[in-house]
Amino acid sequence: MRLNEDVIIEGSKCILVPYTKDLVEQYHSWFVADPELLDATGSELLTIEEEYENQESWRTDESKLTFLIRDKTTSEQMLCGDINCFFSDFEKDQFVDCEESSPDGLVGEINIMIAEKASRRKGIAEEALEIFTQYMQKNIVNLRVLVAKIQMKNKASIRLFEKMGYVEFKRVECFEEIHYVLKLDPSCF
Ligand SMILES: CC(C)(COP(=O)(O)OP(=O)(O)OC[C@H]1O[C@@H](n2cnc3c(N)ncnc32)[C@H](O)[C@@H]1OP(=O)(O)O)[C@@H](O)C(=O)NCCC(=O)NCCS
């Protein structure tokens, strides 16, 4: 979406910056260098042309919000990963046993990647999730809940999201995924 195209969010360990065209090659190179990232983030390897189209889609599609992450602890504040959210209609009966099924607000599917191994275990993912969530709570109207879809074998991500207060919501055995939720507006549940 265009909401954040001029927005920079600064924390103590990382800086969230808009995903602009000039950063596409760097973003693409992470997946080429480490195909495990594709698996962990549920992505597929794109050609560089497709990656440019993807960047444009993240910039303009009103259901998508993304930032790249800079590691503030390095002298050149190097790019180290990304954080993003995909929005869809919140329907209460997806989350609680009830009759209601009419859309009432939004669900955000959140994803984070610290691609640079040298930037891991510094608390960057934790801080990025905190400041990104605060930004969404201020700027995305009627955001009811965040969902993280994590592979059962991805212990690092499970520990991270549990630490951030997400709770297990369901297991999807056929995809070997656990879905974690963070309810932002408890009055809706
Ligand atoms: C998962 C990932 C985002 C963690 O990023 P990170 O910046 O290294 O995480 P942080 O340093 O902020 O760690 C915060 C908490 O996460 C958990 N954690 C992170 N890495 C961990 C690991 N390798 N093993 C166990 N727990 C881990 C810990 O609870 C940690 O808190 P602690 O330091 O107090 O123990 C990173 O490893 C990554 O990008 N992996 C590949 C892509 C991916 O799996 N993305 C998630 C898709 S759902």
Burial of 172 (0-12, 13-18, 19+ CB in 10 A): exposed
Q: Ligand 1 centroid vs 160 CA: distance in angstroms?
A: 5
* From 119, 157, 172, 178, mutation site for ligand 1 pocket: most ligand atoms within 8 A of C-beta: 157
Q: What tokens were used for 51? A: 């990656």
Range of the domain at 162: 2-188
SS3 of residue 60 by DSSP = helix
Q: Report how many domains make up the chain.
A: 1
What's 171's domain CATH number? Answer: 3.40.630.30
Please give the Cα distance from 64 to 87 (Å, whole number). Answer: 6
Q: Residues 99-157: pLDDT tens digits?
A: 877 778 999 999 999 999 999 999 999 999 999 999 999 999 999 999 999 999 999 99
Handedness of CA 189, 112, 125, 37 (dihedral sign): positive
Is the pTM of the predicted complex or chain greater than 0.85? yes
Q: Which of 160, 159, 155 is nearest to 126 (CA)?
A: 160
